[in-house]
Amino acid sequence: MNNPGLRRRPVQKRSIDRVERILDACARLLDEVGLDALTTADVARSAGVPGGTIYQFFDGKSGMLRELALRNLELLLVRLRRRMAEQDGLTWPRAAELVLTETVEMRRTVPGFTVVDFADTRPGGSSFLPPGTVKESGDVLAERLYHFALKEAGLPPLPDPYRVMRLAIQATAAALQLAFAASREGDPAMIEQGHRLLRAYFADVASAQCTER
């Protein structure tokens, strides 16, 4: 899917490195000053590039933030590949727990992630993806995770998959918001409640799928 916030995809190594420096600086500053105070001028200064360089690659601040959200999504998938390769007899409830576990760890360790996570690839609301960019049945995060589950993790198809995935994503986001409201490390008890919620939900969905067959 094309990124409406990215003016052009860098090809040469020098340009790729420059874009990564910009995104790294953006992530650091999000932790330091927050979303509202973040400016492209500050990002350029922190990244050590001319101010106009931001606009060579990104459609302003929102485009830069969207690309950061997509980079965080790719990082999640890399981490999931590693974790799921170690799993035997993977099930939907266990896969959902692994997603939550990796998301929690990213919140604790990845710069800027508490401000711009991969969920910000969703359309509408506080997202950086313009409404109407993806088809009505799903969003970038739901589609990518479901495709990963089927094609790479080998999980069986779900009934009404995008509603299932979107509800699970929203419920997980709510649990994480509560868990990390007062602590960078998160409230372990609330995180465990998130695990319980996902286990129960996907066990029920998977059970309903088996019953329908």
Which helix or strand (DSSP H or E) is residue 97 part of?
helix 92-109
pLDDT digits (tens, 9 = 90+) for 5-21: 566 777 788 888 999 99
Summarised one tens digit per residue, pLDDT across range 97-117 is 999 999 999 999 999 998 888
Q: Residue 202: pLDDT above 50? A: yes
Whole-angstrom distance, CA of residue 35 vs CA of residue 195: 29
The CA distance from 122 to 169, in Å, is 11
DSSP sequence for 112-153: TTTTS-GGGGSBSTT-SBPTTSS-TT--HHHHHHHHHHHHTS
Q: ∠47-65-103 over CA atoms, to 5°? A: 105
- Region class of 30: left (phi > 0), else alpha (psi between -120 and 50), else beta: alpha
At 192, the pLDDT band (50, 70, 90 cuts) reads: very high
**Least trusted range by pLDDT, from 20-34, 40-54, 86-100, 135-149:** 135-149
Position with higher pLDDT, 17 vs 120: 17
Lowest pLDDT segment from 41-45, 137-141, 189-193:
137-141
Percent of the chain at pLDDT exceeding 90: 57
User: What pLDDT shows up at residue 197?
Assistant: 97
For tokens 């409406």, name the residue. 4
Q: Which residue has the tokens 């009505």?
A: 136
Res 138: pLDDT: 38
For residue 141, pLDDT beyond 80: yes
Mean pLDDT of 165-171: 91
User: How distant, in Å, are the alpha carbons of 104, 165, 185, 195, 197 from that of 99?
Assistant: 9, 12, 17, 10, 13
Of the two residues 123 and 42, the one the predictor is more confident about is: 42
Q: Mean pLDDT across the chain, nearest whole number?
A: 85
Element housing 180 (H / E): none
C-alpha to C-alpha distances, 155 to 27, 149, 170, 209, nearest whole angstrom: 33, 6, 21, 12
Asked whether 150 and 168 are in contact (CB, 8 A), the reply is no
